Amino acid sequence: MGGRRGGGAARGFRFPAVALLAVLGISGLVWFAPHAEAATASEKDETFSAQRWVMLEIELTSTKPCRTNCFVDERVTARFTPPGSSARPVVTEGFIASKGVSAGQTWLVRFTPTVPGTWRVETKSARGDPGLAIRGTINVGKAAATGHGFLRGDEAHPNAFVFDDGTHFWMLGQTSYELVVNQRFTPANARDAITSAADHGFTKLRVLAFPWSAEPGSDAPETSGPFTDDHSKHESLDQDHFDALDQVVEQARDAGMQIDLELFSDTNAAFFCRDAPCPAQRQAVCDKVCSGYGRVGNPVDDRYVRYLVARYAAFTNINWVLTNEFQYSPHSDITVGKAGIAARPSYWNHIGSLVASSDPYFVSTTREGAKRLLSIHTATNLPVPDAGSTLLFPPQGHPWVTNTAFQSGPATTECAPDQFASEPLRSAANRLAELPLVTDEFPYIGVPVHNTGCDDPFVLTADGSRMGLWAIYASGGYASMGDGTPDVSAGSWWPGAPLWKTGNWIDGPQYTSTAHLADFWTSSDRALPYWRMRYDAVNSNPVARRYASSASGDVYVVYSAVPKAIPLTLPQGKRFDVRAFDPTTGEDRPIVNGDAQHVAGTGKPTSWQAPAGIGAAGDWVLYATAATP
């Protein structure tokens, strides 16, 4: 029989679902009939109550033992039929959530209703286990005020993000790669890291589902990974690891934060290899030992991906990222020549298509086919002769890609942190992609930055981090930061490792400025339409360390990383309120122009000085909004 476990409160691109799956070349989940010898589900319906955009968890108990391994031997599918005869059903997989193979194992099916009303549910198992087969009714109420649905690319504003209900999302990420290990061994620290990040303006966490510490030979004092066996098998799930990851996702959701869940990592141990154990070395050596690498569509990696989708797709705060720095994985699929790096992303195209077709929420049912966030992280600070920082994994021709996730650089002549950070956002090729541009690895605080355009590496300071972040956002992009400060938190699971790796939190001046950054862009008092703002080349001058974005001639934001006057060209025929903002203190002041209440645009540059008390640290923001008639 089915049980129920409650789910907490939940917090672009037009493409019809059927057409999308056809282009992806994968048929999606199969609603299969149970085994011929199996009993059918009970004729008595079960009844569940749920709320729109809030995850419902249905618990099933097996009555048959698995042959040797439930993860390998059995599959459970669930079909949720919404109200209305023409509505598309939601077909998803259940997942094993216990450790045994005997009868009485726990399977869970997670489902998030996308519309209110009366839904029908039916579950089946591949081996025809009657304990895993139910039928029932789900009575779904209206969404709560905090329920916005899944996060997607904004079909109306291709460089922005929007929830299913139309609420726009401002993204600022914190890199906490091994937060799941932190949660497993020092849960109080992990909880503090999540709530502290939310309190300081962060709206997203970057988390590895397969941490580096799980690789054989890791020097981490504690280890946790998806499997308890090596990557010649990847058959024995570590349920304690996944329970800790569940808790990370749930706590982030309750704090109003998204999770970029990175399915793989750039470690050999994350990928299936026929010949094991593969030494913890890079591709050139590892390929000679592990002939299984490089195979596209191997069933072991695919099974792992389907499990992650089954377990986490129903969380509305999950965004999919296939891996970090795919060029460093055994499936790098790249060749390096005189002309630079040419990507042949066959393996990752397969994995991206598999995620898109397996996730029943990937294509929105309420926003004309808008897609859930799905990307792959590229190491764009690799030296690429004559190629600038154009996307090494181009989205053209890959319909599963919904947003970029790249690193800063490489700049060719610009050495300041703001110049280095914003260069990918200013790249004409990247902007033509018509995707949200996310610099997901702006250099980490305290870590040397090796810029190809500079004679010597520089170490990113808290001031440099602030300048880099402001340059990115003023250029029309989004970012994630990381903190390379050694972890000295009380009871740290990995003392001395960098914070971006351990996932712990230490207060510092850089986080005061992130709170001011978030307040500037999202405060209801300013009501800046950040989702409509694009890079403004007219009012930008990166050489002078000045970066601008604007929206429809009505809103302008210019950031100067140096204490100099800012020239601003405002359109003729409109009047504007012009103000100054201090990124360090958060102070916001009007700029008085004589006795005029508003400033008239002239179509020509007008120079503005920071008023007294603004920009004492050397950088400042000028912004102008069209006056209400």
Between residues 116 and 449, the one the model is more confident about: 116
Q: What angle do CA 471, 475, 478 make, to 5 degrees?
A: 80
- Phi, psi (rounded to 5 degrees) for 328: -95, 0
Between residues 451 and 144, the one the model is more confident about: 144
Mean pLDDT of 241-265: 97
- Taking the C-alpha atoms of residue 355 and residue 349, their distance in angstroms, rounded to an integer, is 10
Predicted confidence (pLDDT) at residue 447 exceeds the cutoff of 70: yes
Predicted confidence (pLDDT) at residue 1 exceeds the cutoff of 70: no
- Taking the C-alpha atoms of residue 404 and residue 301, their distance in angstroms, rounded to an integer, is 23
Mean pLDDT of 458-478: 92
**Range picked from 340-354, 373-387, 507-521, 587-601 for highest mean pLDDT:** 507-521
Residue 409, pLDDT score: 58
Residue 347, pLDDT score: 83
Tracing tokens 């598999």 back to the chain, one arrives at: 354
State the number of CA atoms in the 13 A half-sphere of 269 facing the CB.
20
Mean pLDDT of 19-46: 48
| DSSP H or E segment with residue 137 | strand 135-141
Is the CB of residue 180 less than 8 Å from the CB of residue 226? no
Q: What is the pLDDT of residues 191-247, one digit of tens each?
A: 999 999 999 999 999 999 999 998 888 899 999 999 999 888 899 999 999 999 999
Name the pLDDT band for 38 (thresholds 50, 70, 90): very low
Q: What is the pLDDT of residues 563-583, one digit of tens each?
A: 999 999 999 999 999 999 999
Alpha-helical (H) ranges within 433-586 are 462-474, 499-502, 509-522
Predicted confidence (pLDDT) at residue 40 exceeds the cutoff of 80: no
Predicted confidence (pLDDT) at residue 25 exceeds the cutoff of 60: no
Name the pLDDT band for 257 (thresholds 50, 70, 90): very high
Residue 267, pLDDT score: 84
Residue 413, pLDDT score: 59
Is the domain spanning 535-626 CATH 2.50.20? The answer is no
**Range picked from 338-342, 461-465, 568-572 for highest mean pLDDT:** 568-572
Ranges for all domains in the chain classified under CATH 2.60.40.10 = 31-141
Q: E strands along 287-411, which residues?
A: 318-321, 334-337, 340-343, 374-375, 406-407
Predicted confidence (pLDDT) at residue 588 exceeds the cutoff of 70: yes
Name the pLDDT band for 458 (thresholds 50, 70, 90): confident
Ranges for all domains in the chain classified under CATH 3.20.20.80 = 152-522
Predicted confidence (pLDDT) at residue 7 exceeds the cutoff of 50: no
Predicted confidence (pLDDT) at residue 44 exceeds the cutoff of 80: no
Distances (CA, A) of 320 to 34, 190, 310, 376, 519: 31, 21, 13, 8, 27
Residue 603, pLDDT score: 95
Residue 293, pLDDT score: 52
Is the CB of residue 122 less than 8 Å from the CB of residue 78? yes
Name the pLDDT band for 126 (thresholds 50, 70, 90): very high
Predicted confidence (pLDDT) at residue 299 exceeds the cutoff of 70: yes
CB atoms inside a 10 Å sphere around CB 120: 15
Name the pLDDT band for 286 (thresholds 50, 70, 90): very low
Residue 345, pLDDT score: 63
Mean pLDDT of 599-605: 93
Which CATH number applies to 152-522?
3.20.20.80
Exposed, middle or buried: residue 58 (CB in 10 Å: 0-12, 13-18, 19+)?
buried
Residue 404, pLDDT score: 83
Name the pLDDT band for 23 (thresholds 50, 70, 90): very low
* Lowest mean per-residue pLDDT among 46-50, 331-335, 493-497, 607-611: 331-335
Predicted confidence (pLDDT) at residue 296 exceeds the cutoff of 90: no
3-state secondary structure of 209: coil
Sheet holding 438-441, edge to edge: 374-375, 318-321, 258-262, 204-208, 172-175, 478-481, 438-441, 406-407
DSSP states along 561-614: SSSS-EEEE--TT-EEEEEEE-TTT--EEE--BTTBSSEE--SSEEEEPPPTTS
Rg (CA), the chain: 25
Closest CA to 593 of 615, 618, 568, 613: 568
**Range picked from 35-39, 188-192, 388-392 for highest mean pLDDT:** 188-192
Is the CB of residue 421 less than 8 Å from the CB of residue 480? no
State whether the Cα torsion 589-420-198-154 is positive or negative: positive
Mean pLDDT of 440-455: 75
Name the pLDDT band for 399 (thresholds 50, 70, 90): confident
Distances (CA, A) of 222 to 214, 218, 261, 615: 9, 9, 21, 45
- Phi, psi (rounded to 5 degrees) for 407: -95, 170
Residue 426, pLDDT score: 77
Mean pLDDT of 37-57: 76
Residue 334, pLDDT score: 53
- Taking the C-alpha atoms of residue 405 and residue 139, their distance in angstroms, rounded to an integer, is 39
Name the pLDDT band for 346 (thresholds 50, 70, 90): confident
- Phi, psi (rounded to 5 degrees) for 9: -65, 135
The terminus-to-terminus CA distance of the chain in angstroms comes to 64
| DSSP H or E segment with residue 425 | helix 417-426
Q: What is the pLDDT of residues 500-553, one digit of tens each?
A: 999 999 998 889 899 999 999 999 999 999 999 999 999 999 999 999 999 999
3-state secondary structure of 3: strand
- Phi, psi (rounded to 5 degrees) for 268: -60, -30
Mean pLDDT of 486-509: 94
* Lowest mean per-residue pLDDT among 189-193, 329-333, 580-584: 329-333
Quote the mean pLDDT of the chain. Answer: 84
- Taking the C-alpha atoms of residue 597 and residue 593, their distance in angstroms, rounded to an integer, is 8
Name the pLDDT band for 415 (thresholds 50, 70, 90): confident
Predicted confidence (pLDDT) at residue 394 exceeds the cutoff of 80: no
> How would CATH label the architecture of 31-141?
Sandwich (2.60)
What would you measure as the largest C-alpha separation in the chain, in angstroms?
87
Q: E strands along 86-127, which residues?
A: 90-93, 95-96, 106-111, 117-125
